[in-house]
Chains A and B, each alone.
Chain A
Amino acid sequence: MEKLHFTFKATQPITHPVHIGVVASGDLEVIMRPTTGDSELDIVTGSDGFHDVWQHVLERFFDRYPIQAKFEINDFGATPGVVNLRLTQAMEALKDAQ
């Protein structure tokens, strides 16, 4: 198990918390909460040694969606494809909630 932390500059605040995904192998859950500072991401992952993969996935995400939120991500061995899809789904849920 590995704990990762990332910080990104963000400009689009959220007003409601969002909880997407499930605790299941090959999957992950994403929780976003409103914040006032930079976007802080705390990631707990069962697959060690994927810091750079996460960095890459998250850079691409924040390039498209500079979401200002406190992120909590619990990863249970999801593939990068599943991670991307869950982040996309979280964006959809945010749009629905705002």
Chain B
Amino acid sequence: MIAPHTLIKVGDLADLKPVDSRRPLPDWALAMLQQAPYVIVRRGSQEKMLPVGIRGFQKSQRFPAVLPMDRVTPDQLITPQQIIARQLLRQLAPNRLALPAFQALQHATTVLRDYHWGVGGSLQFELVTGLPMANENSDLDIIMDLPPQDLSVTQARALLQALNQTAAHADVQVVAGQDGFSLEEYANHTSHTVMVKSAAGPLLTVDPWAYLRSHGRDDGTIAATGETD
């Protein structure tokens, strides 16, 4: 299983196919791939084809595509966690590091010292490709591996508060395998259920921690079709 949010450096752009053959890759996507041949793994079945997304500079520029699984090798992959482990933030130019979201990321490296985590979204894309993807309004998307112990609602609130001390909004998704849920939703507790995004689509559960512990680890061969994100 290749985890959602993993970036893939595409070896041969001809391998990349649109999800719907009647809807070919738009011009902005082709131009983007010429600049940086990276795609992001989306949730969904990975049986023969890997669901991926192409990302453009605009927020509305997102395009779903697929890559044949047998054309993807481990050396092409970079996970959100590897970006933190390799300290890619240190290579960032000072004017980029000054952006609120990168400031928030730098702050997060202290707050999340005891967790296994990574960075997703526009910051992830910028840190890997070197392209200026983040802007003044970017959020910090944190991808946190399911910790050994569940967090209580109180602990989750404290952690989110500690992360949100800078100008950018810090969002935490707790993940295991292809499953993930929003720590903020769990902490807000406005409903007795929490949404879990899974390879087979979104679902509601009363205890997202228990769901991730029982399902998240071995969903390598889910025969899911249709809904992904």
- Which residues of chain A from 1 to 44 have any CB-CB distance to chain B below 8 Å in the complex? 1, 18-27
Q: Which of B139, B190, B201 has the most CB of A within 10 A?
A: B190
Q: Does A82 contact B (CB under 8 A)?
A: yes
* Contacts A47-B60, A89-B204; A21 near B185 (Cβ below 8 A): yes
Kindly list chain B residues whose C-beta atoms are within 8 Å of the C-beta of A79.
202, 227-229
Chain A, interface SS category = mixed
Q: Which parts of B189-229 form the interface with A (CB within 8 Å)?
A: 190-193, 195, 197, 201-204, 227-229
Chain A interface residue count, CB cutoff 8 Å, equals 27
Q: Interface size bucket, B side?
A: 20 to 34
* Number of interchain pairs (Cβ within 8 Å): 69
0 or 1 for each of A36-67: is its CB under 8 Å from B? (1 = yes): 00000000001110000000000000000000
B182 contacts chain A at the CB level, 8 A cutoff? yes
A96 to B193, CA, bound (A): 11
Asked if A77 and B191 sit within 8 Å, CB to CB, the answer is: no
Q: Are B182 and A27 in contact (CB under 8 A)?
A: yes
State A38–B98 Cα separation when bound (angstroms): 47
The reply to whether the CB of B59 lies closer than 8 angstroms to some CB of chain A is: yes
User: Could you tell me if A22 and B184 are in contact, using CB atoms closer than 8 angstroms?
Assistant: yes
Please give the distance in Å from B113's CB to the nearest CB on chain A. Answer: 23
In the complex, the answer to whether A19 meets B190 with C-beta atoms within 8 Å is yes
Q: Which residue of A lies closest to B193 (CB)?
A: A89
